[in-house]
Amino acid sequence: MTGESRTFGLSNVERQRLIERFRDSGKAQEPIGPTPNQDPFQDLEYWRQFEMIRMASESLGIANPFYRVHEGVGGAGIVRDGRRYLNFASYNYLGLNGHPRVSAAAKQAIDDHGTSASASRLLTGERSVHVALERSLAELHGTEDCISFVSGHATNVTVLGCLLGRPDLILYDALSHNSIQQGAQLSGARRLSFPHNDVAAAERLLAQHRGQCRQALIAIEGHYSMDGDVPDLPAFAEIARRHKAWLLVDEAHSVGVLGRHGRGIAEHFGVDGALVDFWMGTLSKALAGCGGYIACSRRGAEYLRYAAPGFVYSVGMPPPIAAACAASLDVLREEPERVARLNANAALFLARAKEAGLDTGLSQGFGIVPVIIGSSVAAARLSEILFARGINVKPILYPAVPEQGARLRFFLSSEHTAAEIGEAVTVLAEEVARMKSGNTGLPETLLR
Assess 121 for contact with ligand PMP (CB under 6 A).
no
**Smallest distance from ligand PMP to CB 183, Å:** 10
Assess 352 for contact with ligand PMP (CB under 6 A).
no
Residue nearest to ligand PMP (CB): 152
**Smallest distance from ligand PMP to CB 239, Å:** 21
CB-based burial, 118-155: b 16+ in 10 Å, e otherwise? eeebeeebebebbebbbebbbebbbbebbbbbbbbbbb
Closer by beta carbon to ligand PMP, 252 or else 397: 252
Could you tell me which stretch among 50-58, 131-139, 150-158, 261-269 binds ligand PMP (CB under 6 A)? 150-158
**Smallest distance from ligand PMP to CB 221, Å:** 5
Assess 284 for contact with ligand PMP (CB under 6 A).
yes
In angstroms, the first-to-last Cα distance of the chain is: 7
List the x/- string, 153-182, binding to ligand PMP by CB under 6 A: x--x--------------------x-x---
Closer by beta carbon to ligand PMP, 253 or else 352: 253
d(CA 69, CA 75): 15
Could you tell me which stretch among 126-134, 181-189, 248-256, 349-357 binds ligand PMP (CB under 6 A)? 248-256
d(CA 240, CA 274): 13
**Residue spans of alpha helices (H) in 232-336:** 233-242, 265-269, 298-307, 309-312, 319-334
Closer by beta carbon to ligand PMP, 256 or else 292: 292
Kindly list the catalytic residues: 225, 253, 285
d(CA 312, CA 279): 20
Binders in 185-244 for ligand PMP, by CB under 6 A: 221, 225
Closer by beta carbon to ligand PMP, 227 or else 277: 227
Closer by beta carbon to ligand PMP, 153 or else 381: 153
* Position among 9, 75, 95, 152 found at the interface with ligand PMP (CB under 6 A): 152
Assess 252 for contact with ligand PMP (CB under 6 A).
yes
**Smallest distance from ligand PMP to CB 4, Å:** 33
Q: What is the Cα 210 distance to its own chain's centre?
A: 29
**Residue spans of alpha helices (H) in 199-290:** 199-209, 233-242, 265-269
d(CA 262, CA 337): 10
Closer by beta carbon to ligand PMP, 245 or else 321: 321
List the x/- string, 302-341, binding to ligand PMP by CB under 6 A: ----------------------------------------
- Report whether 308 contacts 78 (CB < 8 A): no
Assess 250 for contact with ligand PMP (CB under 6 A).
yes
Checking 397-401 for CB contacts under 8 A at 24+ apart, the result is: 397/8, 397/53, 398/7, 398/8, 399/49, 400/226, 401/226
74: left (phi over 0), alpha (psi -120 to 50) or beta: beta
Could you tell me which stretch among 149-157, 190-198, 264-272, 318-326 binds ligand PMP (CB under 6 A)? 149-157
User: What are the phi and psi torsion angles at 5 (to 5°)?
Assistant: -75, 155
Closer by beta carbon to ligand PMP, 177 or else 341: 177
- Half-sphere exposure for 59 (CA within 13 Å, toward CB): 14
Q: What is the Cα 161 distance to its own chain's centre?
A: 19
**Smallest distance from ligand PMP to CB 278, Å:** 13
Residue 24: helix, strand or coil by DSSP? helix
- Report whether 136 contacts 251 (CB < 8 A): no
Contact footprint for ligand PMP (CB under 6 A):
151-153, 156, 177, 179, 221, 225, 250, 252-253, 282, 284, 292
